[in-house]
Amino acid sequence: MTQNNVWFVTGASKGLGLALVQKLLSQGFSVAATSRNKDDLIAAVTVDTENFLPLQMDLVDELSIQKAISEVKERFRTIDVVVNNAGYGQLGAIEEISDMEVRNCFDVNVFGTINVIRAVLPIMRQQQSGHILNVASIAGFRAGNRNGIYAATKFAVDGLTESLAADGAPFGIKATCVLPGYFRTKFLSEGSLRLAENPLDAYKDDEFTKFLNGRDGAQMGDPNKAADVFIELSRAENPPVHLFLGNDAQVEFHKKMEDLNSQATAWKELSTSTDFEE
């Protein structure tokens, strides 16, 4: 079992990121944590210790990320575990969402994650160890109505993590994509979830709105228990490349697998009709 002492956590001022940072600090880990607003991060964490390095960082600015990584190296000399947690939800039918809204969501959820990975890989390659945990969503495995753009960003995160695990293996670098279900955070409110700026009447769905409002504050997942899972993953010698987090995520995983198996079987004859006849 490995012991990873220096963590770098993005999107740490609320939600799963905040719960993880607080749990890590309570257990004596060294933690560098980032947010778009450093003051908000410090106020949220409420821990004053030399083990905590709060950083203001812009995920879509590579120079900002490089500066943050340099500060971590200067304070803690290394980085053992990276948690790419920062991101936001974008809801709306695909037709409703503007080009700018799509690009902004990909900039943060996908390209921001990639920017961090590129910045930390040289450190991990040099030390021949490290673990990168990318937070996606169960929507990154089974998309639903009106979350196509958000789901697309999280599908991308899952795919790049799978490749990262293969790329990093020769250097002792591990990669895990965590796909949570609904956790009792403020993700469904306070700016973490955005709706289409120009909604269309054709897609107006009061039942969908009621579903979201009814879920907020009643999610099954406990963020503190999720934090325990992240720590356990970091200590595993052979962690999974994909981890479906929460009972609701497991349910959606099995539904998708049943659908895939059913469709693959039903359409096997057609799908295998494309080979040359030798």
Long-range contacts of residues 26-29, Cβ cutoff 8 Å, at least 24 apart: 27/231, 29/4, 29/5
For residue 216, the one-letter residue type is D
**Is 150 annotated in the active site?**
yes
Q: What is the DSSP string of 163-214?
A: HHHHHHGGGTEEEEEEEE--BSSSTTSTTSEEE-SS--GGG--HHHHHHHHH
Alpha helices in 77-192 (DSSP H): 99-106, 112-127, 148-168
CA atoms within a 13 Å half-sphere pointing along the CA-CB vector of 25: 23
d(CA 37, CA 82) in angstroms, rounded, equals 19
CB contact set of 145 (below 8 Å; sequence gap of 6+) = 93, 208
Number of Cβ atoms within 10 Å of the Cβ of 228: 14
Name the active-site residue from 88, 150, 182, 203.
150
Q: What is the DSSP letter of 111?
A: I
Number of Cβ atoms within 10 Å of the Cβ of 46: 9
Residues carrying an active site annotation = 150
